[in-house]
Amino acid sequence: MKLHEYQSKRIFAQYGIPIPEGEVATTPQEARAIAKRLGGPVAVKSQVLVGGRGKAGGIKLARSPEEAEEVAAQILSLQIKGLPVRKVLVDRAADIRQEIYLGIVVDRLASRPVMMASSEGGVEIEEVARTNPEAIKKVHIDPFVGLRAYQTLWLAKSIGLPPALHRDFGRIAQGLYRAFGECDASLAEINPLVVTGEGALLALDGKMVLDDNGLFRHPDLAALRDIDEETDSERAAREAGLSFVQLDGEIGCMVNGAGLAMATMDIIQHFGGMPANFLDIGGGARADRVAAALRLILADPRVKTILFNIFGGITRCDEVARGIIAVLDEVRPNLPIVARLVGTNEAEGRQILETSGYRIVTAITLAEAAQKAVAAARGAT
Amino acid sequence: MSILVDRNTRLLVQGVTGREGEFHTRQMLEYGTQVVAGVTPGKGGQFACDGRVPVFDTVREAVDATGANTSVIFVPAPFAPDAIIEAADAGLPLVVCITEGIPVNEMIRVKAYLDMKGVRLVGPNCPGLLTPGEAKVGIMPGHIATPGPVGVVSRSGTLTYEVVYPLTMNGIGQTTCIGIGGDPIIGTRFVDVLSLFEQDPATQVVVLLGEIGGNDEEVAARFIAERMTKPVVAFIAGRTAPPGKRMGHAGAIIEGGTGTAAEKIAALEAAGVRVAEHPEQIAEIVAGIL
């Protein structure tokens, strides 16, 4: 789960990381009032969960409360990468002398967190990794001994930070590591961390991504989820316990297992079709999930056919087939369906589907199922 | 021959009295696996699966009483890290964790601890292992596999079945099928399993099933080029996945241009691996090699 900049920075502040004074506004008038209260120039920053806000015109400087109102009005009318801007953060503008990068992610290969710092702040770290990888300095953190002072000192020195700032940099790095661990984050990033005209360090922008698997033990953080940023289908999927990603093809896919769901998308394209979605209904093909998944697929008007690919294994296919029919009786889709069920009693499962009265074609192999789905989608055009 | 589990495996099931745990314990018993004990704190002294499996409060007691040498874990995510560490502390050399949804930060500590103890963990968030005709440890359907010369290693559950089943239907059996799990932090990686298959005299061909995210497949490709004499056939799921979106598995997300299927396929092909276009092609390619 991604957090907004303002949410991330508020968390950072709780861990002793200095952030600019600021508040969130949802209207231009509120932005003006905040700017007036702060006094002096402010930065008005769109709060949407995508990168590239600056390039899209979503971050602007204002020298007066009037100007803050004006630019807030512009920014609040923007759509950035398809997401409407509903909130802006109005921060006291900083006097920036230098921009650096500081972040923590999980290094999968090393199986531990890695802290990264770079003298090239203010640009995406992925961009620096491509163009100037030597500029990124890394330290791995042992989970049993934590981040040590010598490591943060080494980072500070290797990115050329002046000695007067080493101690503050160390405190910020420790705060970021604690925030990362205690919030069950998979990413915590300050970009840029700036050196101000007064010679202090300030976290100008922040980003956190929380590990969805850790949210169960952080109800306070789970409550930060911004449901405005989810599409209706993503929200419905999350609430039903499904893994769902909307794509733009015409074949709706319902599959058990993430790897098989991806392979099903791949084979549809291999045979010249386009999947409408990634959808993993999880183990056992439970009737309530199948129903929720079917509604999700049917909510997409581009879908011309539905492909069920259920590798039951131990699961009894006759039961899965009866579950599918019960859901069809309830949802009543008017689309051709291709179904492939593999597992115990699969022949009985196929027979139940074929004699159900619905437009269901069955298949035995995955390739056969994909080809039939591609043909059905074309026939329905 | 096989790797990691066989007819000498004496299996202990943690979470044996839970719905999933009991269901799959019955399946494992039916397959012929020696399930010698179960563990559920607070239910010591009872029996599970119609009296066939004695239940203990702790792993230590279960090991002392039954000589168990492998554990499989079905306990819910909030308690799974404790269960893994308990199994390691009781001296079991192999722990298989089926549970999905364990926080990554928790797994970082667990893995560091197990590495220190020299305990092998398979998973979490995996289907387990199946040595056809000998032992089934986890949730793989037993009937889709048959003994033979192919070693199968995969990051995914049902995709493994999708590949193993056609192999079996074409008369090509397997030494061991192992699902290593789809999470970012896992106990056993592709290279660990490739090394075991390389050493296993019965394994003649290895099938590797990868997916987008991370760079374990690239690391595996390097290992194959440098260390493996046996032919490897692969499939990578997620060629058509859009970047930046999580595809079900916590590990399956493409970020910043790394971890794409195209990069993985290129790395594997450069190492001499034959990469199938879709899962069912694997059986054809393997038949050609054998």
What's the rounded Cα separation, in Å, for the pair B275 and B233? 6
Q: Mutate one of A2, A83, A101, A111 to test the B interface: name it (highest B CB count within 10 A).
A: A111
Q: What is the pTM of this model?
A: 0.91
CB contact under 8 A, B162 and A258: no
What's the rounded Cα separation, in Å, for the pair B27 and B46? 20
Domains located in chain B, CATH noted: 10-122 (3.40.50.720), 140-289 (3.40.50.261)
Of residues B24, B143, B249, B278, which has the active-site annotation?
B249
What's the rounded Cα separation, in Å, for the pair B49 and A9? 52
B278 is catalytic: no
- Which chain A residues are within 8 Å of B161, Cβ to Cβ? 311, 313, 342
Which H/E stretch holds residue A179? helix A166-182
Structural contact between residues B282 and B166, judged by C-beta atoms closer than 8 angstroms: yes
Question: Would an 8 Å CB–CB cutoff place A28 in contact with chain B?
Answer: no
Which H/E stretch holds residue A278? strand A277-280
Structural contact between residues B178 and B127, judged by C-beta atoms closer than 8 angstroms: no
Question: Would an 8 Å CB–CB cutoff place B162 in contact with chain A?
Answer: yes
Burial code (b: 16+ CB inside 10 Å, e: under 16) for A305-341 equals bbbbbbbbbbbbbbbbbbbbbebbeeeebebbbbbbb
Cα dihedral across residues A203, A209, A214, A217: positive or negative: positive
The CA dihedral of B146, B150, B151, B155, to the nearest 10 degrees, is -80
Instruction: Return the CA Rg of chain B.
Output: 18
Structural contact between residues A114 and A138, judged by C-beta atoms closer than 8 angstroms: yes
Length of chain B: 290
Instruction: Provide CB contacts within 8 A for A126, sequence distance 6+.
Output: B255, B256, B257
What's the rounded Cα separation, in Å, for the pair A225 and A3? 7
The CATH number of domain A21-92 is 3.30.1490.20: yes
Distances, alpha carbon A260 to alpha carbons A174, A276, A281, B137, in Å:
41, 16, 11, 21
| Secondary structure string (H, E, C) spanning A21-75 | CEEEECCHHHHHHHHHHHCCCEEEEECCCCCCCCCCCCEEEECCHHHHHHHHHHH
- CA atoms within 13 Å, Cβ hemisphere of A28: 14
What's the rounded Cα separation, in Å, for the pair B183 and B104? 8
Q: Over the stretch A134-167, which tens digit does the pLDDT of each residue have?
A: 889 999 999 999 999 999 999 999 999 999 999 9
| Of the candidates A178, A61, A175, A53, the residue with the CA atom closest to the CA atom of residue A122 | A53
Q: Over the stretch B243-285, which tens digit does the pLDDT of each residue have?
A: 766 665 555 554 545 688 999 999 999 999 999 999 989 999 9
Distances, alpha carbon A304 to alpha carbons A231, A242, A361, B1, in Å:
21, 21, 14, 49
What's the rounded Cα separation, in Å, for the pair B122 and A139? 27
How many C-beta atoms surround the C-beta of residue A148 within 10 A? 14
What's the rounded Cα separation, in Å, for the pair B171 and B164? 11
Our measurement of the distance from residue A29's CA atom to the centroid of its chain's CA atoms, rounded to an integer in Å, reads: 31
Q: For chain A, what are the domain ranges?
A: 21-92, 96-222, 232-379
- Which chain A residues are within 8 Å of B239, Cβ to Cβ? 266, 269
How many C-beta atoms surround the C-beta of residue B14 within 10 A? 30
A252 - beta bridge partners? A306
Structural contact between residues A331 and A303, judged by C-beta atoms closer than 8 angstroms: no
Question: Would an 8 Å CB–CB cutoff place B22 in contact with chain A?
Answer: no
Instruction: Provide CB contacts within 8 A for A64, sequence distance 6+.
Output: A35
Q: Mutate one of A314, A315, A345, A366 to test the B interface: name it (highest B CB count within 10 A).
A: A314
DSSP output for B107-157 = HHHHHHHHHHHT-EEE-SSS-EEEETTTEEEES--GGG--EEEEEEEES-S
What's the rounded Cα separation, in Å, for the pair B208 and B159? 11
Which H/E stretch holds residue A313? strand A305-316
Secondary structure of residue B72 in the 3-state scheme = strand
Q: Where are the alpha helices (H) located in chain B, listed in sequence order?
A: 19-31, 59-66, 80-89, 104-117, 158-169, 190-199, 216-227, 261-270, 281-289
Secondary structure of residue A20 in the 3-state scheme = coil
Query: Domain spanning A96-222 has what CATH number?
Result: 3.30.470.20
CB contact under 8 A, A260 and B140: no
Cα dihedral across residues A189, A195, A196, A201: positive or negative: positive
Predicted confidence pLDDT, tens digits, chain A (381 residues) = 899 999 999 999 999 999 999 999 999 999 999 999 999 999 999 999 887 888 889 999 999 999 999 999 999 999 988 789 999 999 999 999 999 999 999 988 899 999 999 999 888 887 888 888 888 999 999 999 999 999 999 999 999 999 999 999 999 999 999 999 999 999 999 999 999 999 999 999 999 999 999 999 999 999 999 877 777 787 888 888 888 888 889 999 999 888 899 999 999 999 999 999 998 887 666 677 788 888 888 888 899 999 999 887 666 788 888 888 888 888 788 889 999 998 778 888 899 998 988 889 999 899 999 999 999 998 854
In this prediction the ipTM stands at 0.88
Looking at residue A381, its pLDDT comes to: 46
Length of chain A: 381
| Of the candidates A278, A219, A275, the residue with the CA atom closest to the CA atom of residue A249 | A275
What's the rounded Cα separation, in Å, for the pair A337 and A305? 6
DSSP state of A142: B
| Of the candidates A257, A186, A239, A296, the residue with the CA atom closest to the CA atom of residue B249 | A257
Question: Would an 8 Å CB–CB cutoff place A212 in contact with chain B?
Answer: yes
Q: Over the stretch B44-90, which tens digit does the pLDDT of each residue have?
A: 999 999 999 999 999 999 999 999 999 999 999 999 999 999 999 99
Question: Would an 8 Å CB–CB cutoff place B7 in contact with chain A?
Answer: no
The CATH number of domain A232-379 is 3.40.50.261: yes
How many C-beta atoms surround the C-beta of residue B43 within 10 A? 15
